[in-house]
Structure 1
Amino acid sequence: MRLADRLDYAQGALIRHRGRSALQLLAIAAAVCSVLLLTGLGEGARRYVAAEFAFLGKDLLVMLPGRKQTTGGLPPLGASLHDITLDDMAFLARQLPRVRLAPLVVGNSQIRLGSRSRHRPVLGTTPEFLQTHRLGLLAGQPLPKLPPAQASPVCLLGQQLARELFGEASPLGQWIRIDDRHFRVLGLFHSASSNLGWQLDDSLLIPVGSAQALYNTQALFRLFIQARDGQPLSPLAQRLEQLMRQRHQGSLDVTLLQPDALLATFGDIMTTLTLAVAGIGAISLLVAGVMLMNLSLISARQRTAEVGLLKALGAPARLILQLLLTEALLLAWLGGLLGLALGYGLVSLAGWLYPAFPLFIPPWAAVAALLCALGTGLLFAWLPAARAARLPAVASLRGRV
């Protein structure tokens, strides 16, 4: 029998038993859809983390107070023997003239303009912060180039914060209050990334000396070191550790983070997570396969007379097995395609509803889910089909198993 004839026979059989076929079709479609959704969630999480780290370029190191002795993992959270200070930054600048340094002091203050008030993050830094974090200056001018310890009552507003305080009016040259101090707005900036959940567009920048005076601290929250002229980061990191050990009386109590290394660690975690959730989704294919086998056993019992008629007409057991397996493969193929359509449709809907965290289905997941659906259909239909094909012709014609 030709392949076209087998497909035509399988199609007719599925139409005649449309209720049972619909149940099998939905079971396979739901299983494939769940695989795609779970895989899309894991891949979306991996891409989200990669995008969040994208604002820190491959030429940037982050220095944190405190030392973590093991490799990988999260930054240290414990206290350091010595704070990172502006004097440390000046020392590093003298020793390493080919790097760009950007200090950071972080606080949270009440920002007021007339009757409007917001509690927002205040970042004390220098003009280099715009370059290290790839912030775009939309209007006005950057922070002035002052000695780092010198305070100045000027600030840059994030685009979102400026819109909340000033509406459509221009904030340039206007005065705002940060806690109990007045600051004049020099410019507006925009961040293309949420910076690991930190919305810089909803914050403001002031000179680092002003932030130290405002929050009564000499310690830096972070120190960003950007390599220039194509310097490799690993030797630079080693040199920085040597200098900080020398600066802190032989104690290395700072940690240097390289975004690429941290991103690689997160990437490995997210890849494992993606494969794990894909495996969980594949369990639903197993459940669908068991359901398919049960329905196929029922179908084989109900169609014994049909099988007997085929044998009476001279159809060998091999041909009957092929016909029944063709039905299962056709059903698995249609169910897989329906599951793909549902999966991609739901992922597109989720991306529209939650654009900040879009799901993404990798091509390999779609191919693997479809192949698994076909394999499941073939595997779990084999036993009922083989059992029906081995029935004696006379017993089949009588409707006996």
Structure 2
Amino acid sequence: MRSLDALGLWLGALRGHGSRSAMLLLAIGIGVLAVILLTGLGEGARSYVLSEFALLGRNTLIILPGRNETSGGMPPITGMAPRDLTVQDAQAIGRLPHVWRVAPLQVGQAQVSVDNRSREALIVGSTREFFAIRQLEVAHGQPLPALDPGQADAVCVIGTRLRRELFGARPALGEWLRAGDRRFRVIGILAERGESLGMDFAELLIIPVASAQALFDREGLLRVFVEVRGPAFLAISRQQILATLKARHEGKEDVTLISQDSMLVAFNDILATLTLAVSGIAAISLLVAGILIMNVTWISVSQRTAEIGLLKAIGATAGQVRLLFLGEALLLALVGALGGLLLGEGALWLGREALHVGFYAPWWARLSGLALALFCALLFAWLPASRAAAMAPVVALRPAGGAR
């Protein structure tokens, strides 16, 4: 049997059972789609996390109030604690030998208004060092002045979207706005940045930390950013910071100190779990498709016994008959897998365009999706195909219910 003859028989069998072929294509396509789509989402989440923490910097430590006793898990974000972090704690940390910059952080929501325009805004109280640590650029004006952390001042820096909503087309620099029950003069407008670590900088209002404490009537800090002089000083700085705060907090180690690496470890654990889930979903989907292929191939063999007998009567070998049914299953698996691959890549492209996140399926996911689909087709179609190959021509050509 020539290759072209075998291909003609495969295509003819698939066209003759269109609904059955479409069902198999759909099952295989869904399995491969699961592999491509979910691994692409996982890789997109991973690249997003890496890019977010790259902006934070490898030399940066974050101090949160409250002690996290677990190891390797996600560090606390809000940090409920019996003792607050204070501006004085931040100043003590800033005096350590290997610390370069310290930025205390106070955050809250308040109504912000200019004339008859008003909206709720996220207000961040910090210092000038916050701009350097978070790599914030000011498009117009200047950042917060270099004040003592305990000194309040009626100045602010605002995000671009907040500026448009409050001031419209008129200039904002030098103008006054009201936040809560206090007034602040706009001295700077942030450059476009987008969201980072849960903050949308386009809608942010940044004021001195002492002004934020007075505005919210709250002394405790949400967290403290600490930038050390280099990666080599991270370990010793961590020890010195914990020792300093322990001495200031009556001998209690009641803070959590996290770094970019510890956050990445926590997120890697989450992404590893996601990868396992992806593998499980893909395996189940393709397993179901394989069982469906086996059932359909059994039916095909039982319906085509006369064709099998005729092929064997004119000289077709057992291997060629087996190849006839295996080839149909592999052809269906290949077309279905390619369709699932294209659908998955299309869905990831839509995700990239809509969310501006790098959703890309890794090369190994594409290859493994195709290979797994072909393997399942070959594995589950082998037994029915072998049964067809083992049929004797006389038995295969005997009419159903004919004379014995």
Per the shorter chain, which TM-score range? over 0.9
TM-score, scaled to structure 2: 0.92
Distance of 2:374 and 2:193 partners within structure 1? 43
Does structure 1 residue 36 correspond to structure 2 residue 36? yes
Does structure 1 residue 280 correspond to structure 2 residue 252? no
Question: In angstroms, what is the RMSD of aligned CA positions?
Answer: 2.2
Residues 275-326 of structure 1: per-residue CA shift (max 9 Å, x gap): 2133113212111112211211111112111111111112221221122212
With 269-278 and 355-364 compared, the bigger mean Cα shift is at 355-364
How far is 1:231 from its partner?
Answer: 3.5
- Which residue identity lines up with residue 260 of structure 1 in the other structure? D
- Which residue identity lines up with residue 259 of structure 2 in the other structure? Q
- Number of the residue aligned with 1:55: 55
- Number of the residue aligned with 2:388: 388
Q: In the superposition, relative to structure 1, how do residues 97 and 313 fare at CA in structure 2: closer, same or farther (>3 Å)?
A: closer
Q: In the superposition, relative to structure 1, how do residues 22 and 219 fare at CA in structure 2: closer, same or farther (>3 Å)?
A: closer
Does structure 1 residue 13 correspond to structure 2 residue 13? yes
Distance of 1:48 and 1:146 partners within structure 2? 34
TM-score, scaled to structure 1: 0.93
Distance of 1:285 and 1:95 partners within structure 2? 58
With 144-153 and 21-30 compared, the bigger mean Cα shift is at 21-30
Residues 8-28 of structure 1: per-residue CA shift (max 9 Å, x gap): 443343334444323322322
Distance of 2:247 and 2:200 partners within structure 1? 36
Q: In the superposition, relative to structure 1, how do residues 284 and 95 fare at CA in structure 2: closer, same or farther (>3 Å)?
A: closer
Kindly report which structure 2 residues correspond to 1:310-329, keeping only aligned pairs within 5 A, or say none. Answer: 310-329=311-330
How far is 1:135 from its partner?
Answer: 1.1
How far is 1:81 from its partner?
Answer: 4.4
- Which residue identity lines up with residue 31 of structure 1 in the other structure? G
Q: Give aligned-pair identity as a percent.
A: 47
How far is 1:31 from its partner?
Answer: 2.4
Distance of 1:229 and 1:211 partners within structure 2? 30
Q: Is the 8 A contact 1:140 1:188 kept in 2?
A: yes
- Number of the residue aligned with 1:340: 341
Distance of 1:66 and 1:350 partners within structure 2? 37
Kindly report which structure 2 residues correspond to 1:247-396, keeping only aligned pairs within 5 A, or say none. Answer: 247-352=248-353, 354-356=354-356, 359-396=359-396
Residues 181-232 of structure 1: per-residue CA shift (max 9 Å, x gap): 1110001113635223321221111111211222223322211001124443
Distance of 1:78 and 1:84 partners within structure 2? 10
Distance of 2:56 and 2:339 partners within structure 1? 41
Q: Where does structure 2 lack aligned partners over 5 or more consecutive residues?
A: none
Q: Is the 8 A contact 2:181 2:215 kept in 1?
A: no
The alignment partner of 2:109 has SS state of: strand
Distance of 1:238 and 1:197 partners within structure 2? 28
Aligned residue pair count: 400
Q: In the superposition, relative to structure 1, how do residues 282 and 192 fare at CA in structure 2: closer, same or farther (>3 Å)?
A: farther
Q: Where does structure 1 lack aligned partners over 5 or more consecutive residues?
A: none
The alignment partner of 2:83 has SS state of: coil
Distance of 1:4 and 1:232 partners within structure 2? 70
Q: Is the 8 A contact 1:337 1:370 kept in 2?
A: yes
With 195-204 and 381-390 compared, the bigger mean Cα shift is at 195-204
The alignment partner of 2:334 has SS state of: helix
Distance of 1:341 and 1:387 partners within structure 2? 35
- Number of the residue aligned with 2:247: 246
